Structure 1
Amino acid sequence: MNIRMMLLGSAAALIAAPAFAADAIVAAEPEPVEYVRVCDAYGTGYFYIPGTETCLKIEGYIRFQVNVGENVGGDNDSDWDAVTRGQVQFTAKSDTEYGPLTGVIVLQANADNATNQDTILDSAYLDVAGFRAGLFYSWWDDGLSGETDDIGSVVTLHNSIRYQYETGSFYAGISVDELEDGVYQGDFDPALDALVANDGPNNVGVAFGIGGTAGAFSYQITGGWDFDNEDGAIRAMGTAELGPGTLGLAVVYSSGPNSYYSTAEWAVAAEYAIKATDKLKITPGVQYYGNYIGGADPFDTVPDSFDGTGDAWKAGLTVDYQIVDNFYAKASVQYLDPEDGDDSTTGYFRLQRSF
């Protein structure tokens, strides 16, 4: 082997050596991406939370409303006031051996103006096998479809425990409600010329609800007993398709002012929701109150009976118009004439977009 061949062999070895010494570069495989999957087991709008078998639905609405009436502006002593609301609801569902497990959270923000705002927990509860526990609206929050009827509680949102049995066309249930922010009865103090509470705030109540549908007819019977005030109330209402609209009737009786009903000793209400077109609904309504003491605010002290109070009547008109899908306008005007007080006219105009 001559010198020339040795030099060429050495050079080739030096060139090839790095290729054998270096580790091979292998590109990392991309992580698999889990796309959001539609969950159709519980209706439209649900999707699986990635990595779980829990289905989630997000919905809500944005509302702009102008209220009109005497002193509706609060401290501004104005006869009109604009308010805006935003509400978001999260509903989570998953299958269990006891049936669907449901959790609901509703957050609501209200703005009277840029500096006067509040955000509240509007509802938060869990539900499984007919049992519900948490902060939620009672059956006393239900009413007829218009705005004229005044047949519900002062406060219908409670920390409660409830069991409700349901079939396709019937339900029946019972609940135990915390009534800390209800109304409570007091005695009249002549020296102060005012009612003075003879007990603390309400503590507990028991309510029941029975309702369902039968063809074009729907019905509900609701009752409640306020243990702190030692009085209760019962209400029956129903709707039926009649002609071009839906007729609604309701009657309520209260043994004494309590957190379930404190506006009057008894009342009857009626409305007729006319479906004028596919987008327009017109609802006139009337209500008559026996022994009317007026609506109370939460924590208000009320008389211990309805004795000595006069009657009242109310009439109103509500108009709903669907501008496009999930966007509608509503206007309502109400006239109230109590026997022992001044008459009043109130109303509002509302725009609301749901999603």
Structure 2
Amino acid sequence: MNIRMVLLASAAAFAASTPVLAADAIVAAEPEPVEYVRVCDAYGTGYFYIPGTETCLKIEGYIRFQVNVGEDVGGDSDWDAVTRGQVQFTAKSDTEYGPLTGVIVMQFNADNATAQDAILDSAYLDIAGFRAGLFYSWWDDGLSGETDDIGSVVTLHNSIRYQYESGTFYAGISVDELEDGVYQGDVDPVTGLLVPNDGPNNVGVAFGIGGTAGAFSYQVTGGWDVDNEDGAVRAMGTVDIGPGTLGLAAVYSSGPNSYYSTAEWAVAAEYAIKATDKLKITPGVQYYGNYIGGASAFDTVPSDYDGAGDAWKVGLTVDYQIVDNFYAKASVQYLDPDDGDDSTTGYFRLQRSF
């Protein structure tokens, strides 16, 4: 027997004598217990518990498509289509001082595919009547339709406020940062242009009082612009009459300021007609005394209303609910100032809320 045969025979004998070892058993890990989302009905519909916490969260928002029409609404064009998506997160939890609330609102706007922006529309905390952060003031409130022009140039501020609420009544006071408001100025005798008197508006103080009494609701709002040293006050109310709701409002401004700068005074009326369960028709009218026109954030305005003419405005707004959470709105407004050209503007909107 040669050496090769000896090696092969030895290898075969070793393999035959070696026991076959089974593979190690695979032991599956115990599955983690699943905590399903629980409904939180303590704060109303739509809230659920964040898993593992006692904090309730609500997610809501809307998608809006709108076509604006009017002179120069789209640059050199007389029409412009815009799209918006908005998402709101509201978190609530119980504390010894009452519910602790936190709100974040993100807004995404698209004028077209290449002109888009994402903004923080609101972000604030709220507890025991105190609110601090970025939120809309009482001056953002208005009547039912789209005709009334009785609000601030900018109604979203970094603010701190306290609001007392008791059933059908509330009263509050706020301190507002107004750096993106309007600036009073004087006419430069050489250039004829308005020149701001001071730098940015730093602060304002506002108050709001309102409530309901049966079919009647009311609100009184005021604000003092510290840097411009002028303020404004506004009263408005609604009452159910016949097939709709009548809304009336009046505003007075001691001088152009960040709370109201369109005119020295104005009165407005609207009647929201509930034509059917799905259709609402709202005609409106407004008259301005000593009208200087609408301003924008950071605009310079005259230091008073002297020499300004009057203006009037009429409009019609139609709301139609197509299905639940989906509606259409169309609005047209006509403005005729004494010291300027008349104009007609409007829009058509589709909006899906969730």
- Which TM class, normalised by the smaller chain length? over 0.9
Aligned to 1:155: 154
Residue aligned with 1:79, SS: strand
Aligned to 2:284: 285
- Counterpart amino acid of residue 232 in structure 2: A
1:28 deviates by 3.3
Alignment deviations for residues 103-129 of structure 1 (CA, whole Å, 9 cap, x no partner): 000000110000011110000000000
Aligned to 1:9: none
Residue aligned with 1:69, SS: strand
Question: Alpha carbons of 1:112 and 1:26: their partners in 2 closer, same or farther (altered >3 Å)?
Answer: closer
Mapped to 2, the partners of 1:235 and 1:195 lie a distance apart of 27
Aligned to 1:133: 132
Aligned to 1:88: 87
Mapped to 2, the partners of 1:178 and 1:29 lie a distance apart of 56
Question: Alpha carbons of 1:32 and 1:338: their partners in 2 closer, same or farther (altered >3 Å)?
Answer: same
Mapped to 2, the partners of 1:280 and 1:69 lie a distance apart of 25
Give ranges in structure 2 of 5+ residues lacking alignment.
1-17
Aligned to 1:206: 205
Mapped to 1, the partners of 2:71 and 2:330 lie a distance apart of 17
Mapped to 2, the partners of 1:97 and 1:282 lie a distance apart of 46
Question: Alpha carbons of 1:149 and 1:26: their partners in 2 closer, same or farther (altered >3 Å)?
Answer: same
Residue aligned with 1:200, SS: coil
Aligned to 1:256: 255
1:203 deviates by 0.5
Aligned to 2:346: 347
Alignment pair present for 1:294 and 2:293: yes
Mapped to 1, the partners of 2:112 and 2:25 lie a distance apart of 66
- Counterpart amino acid of residue 353 in structure 1: R
Residue aligned with 2:139, SS: helix
1:29 deviates by 2.4
Give ranges in structure 1 of 5+ residues lacking alignment.
1-13
Alignment pair present for 1:60 and 2:88: no
Aligned to 1:312: 311
1:168 deviates by 1.4
- Counterpart amino acid of residue 65 in structure 1: Q
1:24 deviates by 8.4
- Counterpart amino acid of residue 70 in structure 1: E
Alignment pair present for 1:99 and 2:94: no
- Counterpart amino acid of residue 344 in structure 1: S
Mapped to 1, the partners of 2:290 and 2:278 lie a distance apart of 39
Normalised by the length of structure 1, the TM-score is 0.93
Aligned to 2:141: 142
% of aligned pairs identical?
Answer: 90
1:64 deviates by 0.3
Residue aligned with 2:72, SS: coil
Alignment pair present for 1:71 and 2:38: no
1:27 deviates by 4.5
Alignment pair present for 1:181 and 2:187: no
Residue aligned with 1:308, SS: coil
Alignment deviations for residues 175-225 of structure 1 (CA, whole Å, 9 cap, x no partner): 000000000100101211210011001000000000000000000000000
1:23 deviates by 9.4
- Counterpart amino acid of residue 93 in structure 1: K
- Counterpart amino acid of residue 58 in structure 2: K
Aligned to 2:192: 193
Question: Alpha carbons of 1:87 and 1:23: their partners in 2 closer, same or farther (altered >3 Å)?
Answer: closer
Normalised by the length of structure 2, the TM-score is 0.93
Q: How many residues align?
A: 337
Residue aligned with 1:31, SS: coil
Question: Alpha carbons of 1:34 and 1:257: their partners in 2 closer, same or farther (altered >3 Å)?
Answer: same
Mapped to 2, the partners of 1:49 and 1:226 lie a distance apart of 42
Aligned to 2:166: 167
Aligned to 2:239: 240
Aligned to 1:40: 41
Mapped to 2, the partners of 1:156 and 1:344 lie a distance apart of 25
Alignment deviations for residues 45-101 of structure 1 (CA, whole Å, 9 cap, x no partner): 001111111000000000000000000012xx1100000000000000001111000
